Amino acid sequence: MIIGLTGGIGSGKSVISNQLRQMGYSVYDTDSEAKRLIMEDVHVREQITDLFGPNVYKDGVYQTALVAKQVFADKSLLAQLNAIVHPAVKADILQRFTSPPFRGESEGGLFFIECAILYQAGLDQLCDKVVAVTAPEDIRLERVIARDQSDIHKVRARMRIQDTEQDIRRADIVINNDGGPPITTLCQEIVQKIKG
């Protein structure tokens, strides 16, 4: 069974993912895996080079700041970049979760996909159930400012871009990570609700 794990910035979905890994579950982190594919997948590299030009990989290293500057100025470029990366991530997930050694490896046969933009990337289509992790905005702000040493206005702007309210309404299970129950308890609750 494939479970989507989504939530806005500062909700604590990565902390929950790490705990699920410690409990023996396989968790696919779309952020880190997308970065890997951007660097290692020849087809993805070719398409990104075609889109942004030969300077997008300098000495073999993906120029994140260059791309960020361009997609910020031209939203159509972001859509085109996503049209390259999202299908590659989707194919990688399917390959990872349906072929050895991953098939049957995860505790209880549950596989998790951690993705802040699960619905926007179309990855919810791979999932049997979706878990949305939420937390009050003030707690999310505190977490992100402490983690990233970021300005409150920048964090609020990132939160507005994500706009996770619709994602929460669409999820099968909603977990409130407000700092009350320990993460282990929240993870046990997630597993119980999935199996229940």
User: Which letter, b or e, does each residue of 63-89 get, where b requires 16 or more Cβ atoms within 10 Å of its Cβ?
Assistant: eeeebeebbeeeeeeeebbbebbbebb
15 shares a domain with 97:
no
Which residue range forms the structural domain that includes residue 4? 1-25+108-196
116 shares a domain with 190:
yes
114 shares a domain with 17:
yes
Integer CA distances (angstroms), 91 to 69, 105, 155, 192, in order: 28, 19, 31, 29
115 shares a domain with 21:
yes
pLDDT the model gives residue 3: 95
58 shares a domain with 15:
no
Torsion of CA 154, 160, 161, 165, to 10 degrees: 140
Q: What is the mean pLDDT of each run of 10 residues along the chain (196 residues)?
A: 90 92 93 96 97 94 93 90 96 82 65 92 94 85 76 69 73 91 94 90
**Pairing status of strand 129-134 against strand 2-7:** parallel
pLDDT the model gives residue 163: 62
pLDDT the model gives residue 159: 64
135 shares a domain with 89:
no
Which CATH number belongs to the domain containing residue 130 in this structure? 3.40.50.300
Q: Which pTM value belongs to this model?
A: 0.85
Say which residues have a Cβ less than 8 Å from residue 125's Cβ, sequence separation at least 6. Answer: none
195 shares a domain with 115:
yes
Number of domain units in the chain: 2
